[in-house]
A and B are shown apart, each in its own frame.
Chain A
């Protein structure tokens, strides 16, 4: 059936609500407004205000309440409107959700799912355009998911809800309108493994979220130039599927990491380090990175475009990488 990322996500929430009475959705404008990105549109009418629960603008309060409700036997889905606002809930996410299991010596686990929109590209300026997915991947105790396909938008949520520990799902704002075919019986998917979205032999484009869409377009462009690019969709930023990263590098011997987040101290640095640690002698060229330029995202279209990784940036990085090493093998 034809569907969108947004509808796939909504379908996942609906299914979860039907499957388990303990599941409820809570967040800012999830109910009467229908969700800031319309993901939960119509769900209030279907499930009522107890389970599609509008909250005050109190990110720390309602994320903490989600943690408490999880401790109390519920299976909350907490929606934080965007990753930018999640900074107001950092204490609860890092100090409580990620930490309670360990600090309590295994006594209390937190089966909580937090969903939030992430990323830039809509000309909404610095405070609404951040890509901090990699930041959260720094924290032990969290699982970080970045669905980039309709299958993952539909399938990751249920698997996340079955996880006994906290899971954060990052939904890139530019993916919500993505259209495509989704099987009628699409269901839960693994949240452990990266997936090769396109096989290739000359270079590996390693990325996640919206980066997957851009990398696929870059791979198309590169193909016309006779360069065969493999695209690895990480899907899960924590724990990273290191095996999949090393395997693709062993196949292509070149890697370009694409991350909308900043280069310094970012997840791209972590991926690059793992390649160096695990597949150094497989490399025909240094690992290359295409990342967000290190500025707060500006408002004007031309500057925002320049600040975020674009398809042509990826193509350029690959060309440079390959020409630097001479003839293709």
Chain B
């Protein structure tokens, strides 16, 4: 597929912010992988590396009043949404100081402050919930967009189709962000989907839908901006298919039998970070010193997160059964 030409570079500070966001996600996750091998992080760990442009380009378009629903591969979305790296890392450690008090771990990042509603580890399980958040906003007359992230695998699930129908039927202020990384765990798109043009399928629900170069952060940002503007203007739900690629295995247990090294290295040529960095260099916005400064800034942030998690505490076992039911009257 050929995409329209990439949008022009924004001003230097904006371009730098996008680059920083992608590098933060990359370095944060590289640290996670290292901490996983050191057994500091346990359970499942699904890395986003390679797909950073989607989160970094789309989430900053949203306003703080908007809502976000994500999947179990959501560290990138959480960081780009502004959930502090410290509390995300503490969550992965299972610490009480984690954004979900350590009860969720890597797959279940929740943060009320930034209206980040998880972190859902059932494929497509977050979609109906996102429709409901959008419905609440509509019924209450609130100017609030809900952005829902999911992968190509979710589009085979009934919950996807039920949610698309509800969103279109009720004209909900909902942005469907499909991260098409070509594999549902290890099952290639063509093995699981009769029609692999995902945006085309979305249009059958009567909503605007188009495919976006998910490796180009500027294209992601531009598409998201247009979609969100249209949703805010009463245009109803929109669907964006971000074509992207995961450079790392599905999880830390994946031997990657289903794809070739050549395919992976071919996609790495379109690594979203150098893609933007090179354009910035050519435009005179970035040199080695500036990049090094940015890298060390990010490294410091990641180190701070690790220290925060290391110094965190364990929730006492006596508190095991807390949060099965609300302890107060709950939400007002």
Contact across chains for A56 and B328 when beta carbons are under 8 A apart: no
Q: Enumerate B112-150 residues with CB–CB distance to A below 8 Å.
A: 112, 117-120, 122, 125, 127-137, 139-140, 146
Contact across chains for B139 and A71 when beta carbons are under 8 A apart: no
Interface flag for A211 (CB, 8 Å): no
Interface flag for A295 (CB, 8 Å): no
**What residues of A have a CB within 8 angstroms of the CB of B111 in the complex?**
107
Q: Mask for B53-80, Cβ within 8 A of A = 1, else 0?
A: 0000000000000010000000000000
Q: Mask for B298-332, Cβ within 8 A of A = 1, else 0?
A: 00000000000000000000000011111111110
CA distance A111 to B159 in the complex (A): 21
Q: Which of A55, A56, A69, A109 contacts B133 (CB 8 A)?
A: A69
Contact across chains for B327 and A106 when beta carbons are under 8 A apart: yes
Contact across chains for A103 and B135 when beta carbons are under 8 A apart: no
Contact across chains for A106 and B331 when beta carbons are under 8 A apart: no
Interface flag for A58 (CB, 8 Å): yes
CA distance A76 to B139 in the complex (A): 11
Q: Which of A55, A106, A165 contacts B166 (CB 8 A)?
A: A55
Interface magnitude class on chain A: 35 or more
Q: Which of A68, A104, A108 contacts B131 (CB 8 A)?
A: A68
Contact across chains for A56 and B165 when beta carbons are under 8 A apart: yes
Among B165, B169, B331, the one with the most A-chain Cβ atoms within 10 Å of its Cβ is: B331
Binds A, one of B35-43, B97-105, B178-186, B257-265: B97-105
**What residues of A have a CB within 8 angstroms of the CB of B206 in the complex?**
none
Q: With A91-B122, A103-B103, A103-B104 as known contacts, state yes or no: A61 contacts B110, CB within 8 Å.
A: no
**What residues of B have a CB within 8 angstroms of the CB of A76 in the complex?**
132
Contact across chains for B133 and A106 when beta carbons are under 8 A apart: no
CA distance A296 to B100 in the complex (A): 42
Interface flag for A243 (CB, 8 Å): no
Contact across chains for A96 and B112 when beta carbons are under 8 A apart: no
Interface flag for B163 (CB, 8 Å): yes
Contact across chains for B110 and A102 when beta carbons are under 8 A apart: no
Interface flag for A174 (CB, 8 Å): no
Q: Which of A22, A68, A141 contacts B134 (CB 8 A)?
A: A68
Q: With A24-B139, A55-B166, A104-B104 as known contacts, state yes or no: A164 contacts B133, CB within 8 Å.
A: no
Contact across chains for B131 and A64 when beta carbons are under 8 A apart: yes
Q: Which of B110, B120, B166 contacts A65 (CB 8 A)?
A: B166
Contact across chains for A68 and B132 when beta carbons are under 8 A apart: yes
Contact across chains for B125 and A50 when beta carbons are under 8 A apart: no
Contact across chains for A65 and B128 when beta carbons are under 8 A apart: yes
**What residues of A have a CB within 8 angstroms of the CB of B163 in the complex?**
61, 64-65
Contact across chains for B325 and A108 when beta carbons are under 8 A apart: no
Contact across chains for B118 and A100 when beta carbons are under 8 A apart: yes
Q: With A95-B122, A103-B118 as known contacts, state yes or no: A58 contacts B103, CB within 8 Å.
A: no
Q: Mask for A86-111, Cβ within 8 A of B = 1, else 0?
A: 00000110011000111111111101
Interface flag for B274 (CB, 8 Å): no
Contact across chains for A71 and B133 when beta carbons are under 8 A apart: yes
Judged by DSSP, the binding face of B is: mixed
Contact across chains for B330 and A64 when beta carbons are under 8 A apart: no
How close is B319's CB to chain A, nearest CB, in angstroms?
Answer: 10
How close is A220's CB to chain B, nearest CB, in angstroms?
Answer: 38
CA distance A102 to B100 in the complex (A): 8
CA distance A91 to B129 in the complex (A): 11
What is the size, in residues, of chain B's interface with A at 8 Å between Cβ atoms?
Answer: 49
Interface flag for A262 (CB, 8 Å): no
**What residues of B have a CB within 8 angstroms of the CB of A62 in the complex?**
128, 162, 166
Interface flag for B108 (CB, 8 Å): yes
Interface flag for A72 (CB, 8 Å): yes
Contact across chains for A66 and B329 when beta carbons are under 8 A apart: no
Contact across chains for A71 and B328 when beta carbons are under 8 A apart: no
Q: With A58-B162, A58-B165, A165-B325 as known contacts, state yes or no: A68 contacts B330, CB within 8 Å.
A: no
Q: With A56-B165, A102-B323 as known contacts, state yes or no: A108 contacts B129, CB within 8 Å.
A: no
Contact across chains for A103 and B110 when beta carbons are under 8 A apart: yes
Contact across chains for A92 and B125 when beta carbons are under 8 A apart: yes
Interface flag for B158 (CB, 8 Å): yes
Q: With A141-B324, A164-B329, A164-B331 as known contacts, state yes or no: A107 contacts B132, CB within 8 Å.
A: no
Contact across chains for A60 and B162 when beta carbons are under 8 A apart: yes
**What residues of B have a CB within 8 angstroms of the CB of A64 in the complex?**
125, 127-129, 131-132, 159, 162-163
Interface flag for A63 (CB, 8 Å): yes
How close is A57's CB to chain B, nearest CB, in angstroms?
Answer: 9
CA distance A13 to B103 in the complex (A): 36
Q: With A24-B139, A64-B163 as known contacts, state yes or no: A109 contacts B132, CB within 8 Å.
A: no
How close is B234's CB to chain A, nearest CB, in angstroms?
Answer: 16
**What residues of B have a CB within 8 angstroms of the CB of A105 in the complex?**
98-104, 110, 323
Q: With A109-B331, A111-B330 as known contacts, state yes or no: A56 contacts B129, CB within 8 Å.
A: no
**What residues of B have a CB within 8 angstroms of the CB of A103 in the complex?**
100, 103-104, 108, 110, 118-119
CA distance A104 to B166 in the complex (A): 26
CA distance A108 to B126 in the complex (A): 14
Interface flag for A67 (CB, 8 Å): yes
Contact across chains for A101 and B323 when beta carbons are under 8 A apart: yes
CA distance A83 to B140 in the complex (A): 30
Contact across chains for A68 and B166 when beta carbons are under 8 A apart: no
Contact across chains for A73 and B140 when beta carbons are under 8 A apart: yes
List the 4 shortest-distance A-B pairs measured between CB atoms, nearest first: A68-B132, A64-B128, A164-B330, A72-B136
- Listed A/B pairs (13) with beta-carbon separation below 8 Å: A61-B166, A62-B128, A64-B163, A65-B163, A67-B129, A69-B139, A73-B136, A92-B128, A92-B159, A104-B108, A105-B98, A107-B112, A143-B325
Apart from A65-B166, A68-B136, A95-B122, list 4 A-B contacts with CB within 8 A: A58-B166, A64-B162, A92-B128, A101-B324
